[in-house]
Amino acid sequence: MKHQVLIFSLLCACGGGGDDGGGNGGAPADFDDYFNQITGTGVTPVASLPVTGRYEYAGRVRLDLPIDGPAQQYQGLLEISIGFDAGANPVLGSVSQLANGQQVLVGVLQIDSGVLNPHAQPAVDYQFFAGLDGNLDANGTIYVIDGTLAGDLYGPQWDGIAGLVFGDITQGIIVDIFDGSFAGTLTP
């Protein structure tokens, strides 16, 4: 009985039991676990990538942003669409709901100006790149983000994406740098 009460108390304290805490298509609550789960499947071989079609991915992003001082980790939602047909904008999407537990940043960062490099050799280069741009409002202070996403597709059937984020963050005349990472899974 003590174990049942303890388990019940722990479940109540963490907000439940059946959800894995990701709130994002079954993503684990811990970003590192989620990232490692996706990258652990291995980069999709070039021969296995599709040559047509557009595929939607949803996941999470973690950015180390110097908001009001030293860099802090902010996590948010990621949506990316990757098109394998020849044409404009093969990589599009957005980053939203960035927060660090104490502060929520208001604004949506756009992912665009993407380049698909399906013949990239994973040990040397990424399979796709895209710009990450927009404004974030931190309690009335505006930060301008000018960044890049660089990533690969993962799994035997390109079921996941993951990669790095880096760029500049500007507030007024102060320019600093930021970095981070992202991961996502194919949506049905």
pLDDT at 26: 47
The domains of the chain are located at 24-186
Please indicate whether residue 109 or residue 68 has the higher confidence score (pLDDT). 109
pTM exceeds 0.85, yes or no: no
pLDDT at 4 over 90: no
pLDDT at 124: 87
Please indicate whether residue 13 or residue 82 has the higher confidence score (pLDDT). 82
The distance between the two most distant Cα atoms of the chain, rounded to a whole number of Å, is 63
pLDDT at 28: 54
pLDDT in tens, 125-165: 999 999 999 999 999 999 999 999 999 999 999 999 999 99
pLDDT at 7: 30
Measured in degrees and rounded to the nearest 5, phi and psi for residue 171 equal -130, 110
Which of the listed CATH numbers 3.40.800.10, 3.40.50.720, 3.40.50.300, 2.40.160.90 matches domain 24-186?
Answer: 2.40.160.90
pLDDT in tens, 29-60: 699 999 999 999 999 988 899 989 999 999 99
Provide the token pair at 155: 């799994």
Q: For residue 70, give Cα distances in angstroms to 15, 133, 143, 147.
A: 31, 21, 14, 18
**E strands along the chain, which residues?**
54-65, 72-83, 91-99, 109-116, 128-138, 141-154, 160-171, 174-186
